[in-house]
Structure 1
């Protein structure tokens, strides 16, 4: 990698991350403001608007600073790999602490205003449990769960096949492939190196599968004022979510399978697989962001449920409620879903990605 390529890759990546963070609150729905439950009528009040502006200014300053750090790494130290990791990780950490700062400011402001304003909180509407809606939702989830499982099983079988070919693999195997699909990094063959590629493919594939199913199972919040329309809208959006999850599952698993095939054959990844899958993942992720933004469960009129309680959220981002059986719940700040660490499954799923990252670092350092 040269300085021009490092610049082309890293600055746009940092800018994309900046744009996503800058508009995160706008994508978070009409129920929470920087991780705090709040009547959306007050989102545009001067005190809260000032905090929103403060967050955006601080994030912009962080983007400028870490862009400069990226340029220094590239042009002063010629540290291209560090330029890829350090600024992005640093910017993510910086924006998290920036969010915490604004989150605490919002909590303090809400607490102070609640002494004189009695409708700052979300309206505590009655919970709606519609059996017809739940049955339709469960049928849809069951259908797509089977469809999500098929590409994952193929990945696992390909991993098993890769290990059976261990003795016929050459002494040096590819461990990384560039944008052209050509292998650009190699390591000495070992059980750890081959097994690491298989474990990473299967492990990440499993996380994608569980995340997809868990997200679809998350609580749907109906609108009591127009129940029939609300049920149709939820099922409509749930089906669209499921289709985007299916695209993500298939594209990711095809990529993993291609990596395992390239490992066995010590070859490049077919560019007609690499780029279509990459583009499909990006388009599906963007469309899913749009769907999440339009989700009926994030609207102001959705019913009040237990996960709307501020007391069950740590830093406004981590849901911890052992009395709620939900495995996944919708995020308060940002797009997507998060696990309920109050459940055993939630604790395991919360920890597993960190274990995979540590495992990957250990394998990488030993190559």
Structure 2
């Protein structure tokens, strides 16, 4: 079963990595701002196609070799998991290597005289955008938090019937394969970690809700549609993942308290359903946002281009802008958000919860 799980994950990863150049903003190509009048340039289109073909072929070969090896060699579950993990990181490494290669190509192409000839940079603002924003209200993120606090209280009330060995890890088959001694702290470690993750999701939601809304000077309507679609669907996706994590962790906690009430089949099935729903939700999110600015025509024709912020993006991936109060900004390669590394609040929202989770895990 581990083979099937990793096979699905690798297919999903390969599909997303292959499609990324076609899902980013219209005027951003491999992390570089390209004037609207040149986004259909044959050279640029060929770079996108070459990236997609190479990532697809390499991923397909790796996936085929992985399946053949697992079926013919009959390796152990540990080896299947290890090989599947290596392939995932391998696909990411290869796709990012290709990204940096084509990022350099586009940067070089952009420096040619014809790309900057007689183009005026324009930056626009729409003061009515906030009123059109349909992101979820922040209070809905308190629902999973309330459920988790209730689970912590229930666990404490059932302390006397808990087993002497508390599960700390579950394998691909849904069965616990690592344990720790029962203590007042260890019995609530899992819901505590979940609670910290939920607070992090709430912080990310607030950060994205307060982030700046950047519009294109030449494709104002298309960029407005993308921004509104991105913000709305991001809030729904984060809430869905937070809720699903709450259900999964609560289920695992409940199975620890009442192990005889849950069959092995259910223990196996629940994580699979969780994985499938998250993957499908992520794919739908990427496709919906990625296509949001591709259907509408240009609003303005002429010798203008969007304000060039390439100097704030290191390698087209890492954003440093002290003048931008936004904590999160839209990614330049991929679909979603990335951190404004010049804003210290972002480190508090993302880094601090991870440090706390690691401390709880080690304790």
Shorter-chain TM-score: what band? 0.7 to 0.9
2:255 matches 1:257 = no
Choose from 9, 12, 26 the match for 2:8. 12
- Which structure is richer in relative contact order (CA contacts within 8 A, separation 6 or more)? 2
Closer, same or farther: CA 22–236 of 1 in aligned 2, 3 Å: closer
Query: How many angstroms apart in 2 are the aligned matches of 1:135 and 1:92?
Result: 38
CA distance in 2, matches of 1:336, 1:108: 26
Secondary structure of 1:124's aligned partner: strand
Q: Match of 1:116, SS?
A: helix
Q: For residue 126 of structure 1, what is the aligned residue in structure 2?
A: 123
Count residues with an aligned counterpart: 350
**Partners of 1:167 and 1:119 in 2: CA distance:** 76
SS in 2 for 1:218: coil
Alpha-carbon offset, residue 336 of structure 1: 0.7
Counterparts of 2:342 and 2:294, CA distance in 1 = 22
Deviation string 1:163-193 (CA, Å, 9 cap, x unpaired) is 564454212233445677x534241334575
Could you tell me how far apart the structure 1 residues matched to 2:208 and 2:226 are?
Answer: 17
CA distance in 2 between counterparts of 1:225 and 1:87 reads: 41
Range with bigger deviation, 73-82 or 198-207: 73-82
Q: What per-residue deviation string (whole Å, max 9, x for no partner) do you get for residues 306-336 of structure 1?
A: 7x50111122112111221101111111111
CA–CA distance in 2 between the matches of 1:23 and 1:359?
Answer: 37
Do the aligned partners of 1:31 and 1:298 also contact (CA within 8 Å) in 2?
no
User: Which residue is 1:321 aligned to?
Assistant: 321
Gaps of 5+ in 2: none
User: Which residue of 1 is the match for residue 22 of structure 2?
Assistant: 26
Task: Note the C-alpha offset of 1:30.
Answer: 0.3
Assess if the C-alpha contact under 8 Å between 1:322 and 1:342 holds in 2: yes
Correspondent of 1:200 among 193, 210, 217: 193
In terms of mean alpha carbon deviation, does 158-167 or 22-31 score higher? 158-167
RMSD over aligned Cα atoms? 4.0
CA distance in 2, matches of 1:232, 1:223: 11
Quickly say closer, same or farther: Cα 1:82–1:239, change in 2 above 3 A. Answer: closer
**Larger proportion of helix:** 1
8 Å contact kept, 1:251–1:278:
no
Does structure 2 conserve the Cα–Cα contact (< 8 Å) formed by 1:39 and 1:119?
Answer: no
